[in-house]
Amino acid sequence: MTRQVPISLTVNGERVEAQVLPRLNLADFLREHIELTGTHVGCEHGVCGACTVRIDGEIVRSCLVLAVQTHGASVQTIEGLSDSGEIADLQAAFRDRNALQCGFCTPGMLMAAQDLLISQPEPDRDRIREHLSGNYCRCTGYQAIVDAVETTARARIGRRP
């Protein structure tokens, strides 16, 4: 049996020390070891985007990253982005536009949308649709999500000094 490896990282600003098997992926580490179940596992092969999290500011599919690769890194999950208030306006736009139904894709979708809004504050609808194409949603048909992201982008621009 392969030996466990010690890792040390921060998750949502909190320091985490753990012993993990080298084969453990980050999604399972987050869900099962530190019980942050907002990161969802939809396909386990990097296609659906439900497990999207941030590592050192970049969004990744946590099912394609090994937990050991996050040693020394800063990981942010949907719980962290929610508690910090960073995406409160985006979440409000999702709620007002009913941009989620079952909600399973939503944490990953919010992660990807926020990533777009950080890198490109004024995306048009085609750009939003393109950026979110790596996040599958089977319920909404996407239009409400695109609307909510567009609304948030406009509101943020309006709030700029």
Of 18, 60, 117, 132, the residue at the interface with other proteins (CB under 8 A) is 132
Interaction between residue 37 and other proteins (CB under 8 A): yes
Is there a contact between 64 and 29 (Cβ–Cβ < 8 Å)?
no
Q: Which amino acid is at 96?
A: D
Here's the x/- map for other proteins, 61-100, by CB under 8 A: it reads as ----------------xxx--x--------x--xxxxx-x
Report which of 7, 2, 130, 137 is spatially closest to residue 75, judged by C-alpha positions: 7
Nearest distance, CB of residue 23 and other proteins, angstroms: 8
Interaction between residue 6 and other proteins (CB under 8 A): no
Nearest distance, CB of residue 32 and other proteins, angstroms: 8
Is there a contact between 129 and 142 (Cβ–Cβ < 8 Å)?
yes
Of 42, 116, 151, 153, the residue at the interface with other proteins (CB under 8 A) is 42
Q: What whole-number distance in Å separates Cα of residue 8 and Cα of residue 24?
A: 15
Q: Residue 135 CB: number of other CB atoms within 10 A?
A: 25
| Footprint on residues 142-161 left by other proteins (CB under 8 A) | 142-146
Q: What whole-number distance in Å separates Cα of residue 77 and Cα of residue 108?
A: 9
From 45-53, 54-62, 65-73, 115-123, give the range in contact with other proteins by CB under 8 A: 45-53
Q: Which is nearer to other proteins, 39 or 151 (CB)?
A: 39
Half-sphere exposure (CA, 13 Å, Cβ side) for 121?
7
Tokens 């085609």 label which residue? Answer: 126
- Site residues for other proteins per CB under 8 A: 1, 21, 23, 31, 35-45, 47-48, 50, 77-79, 82, 91, 94-98, 100-107, 110, 125-126, 128-130, 132-146
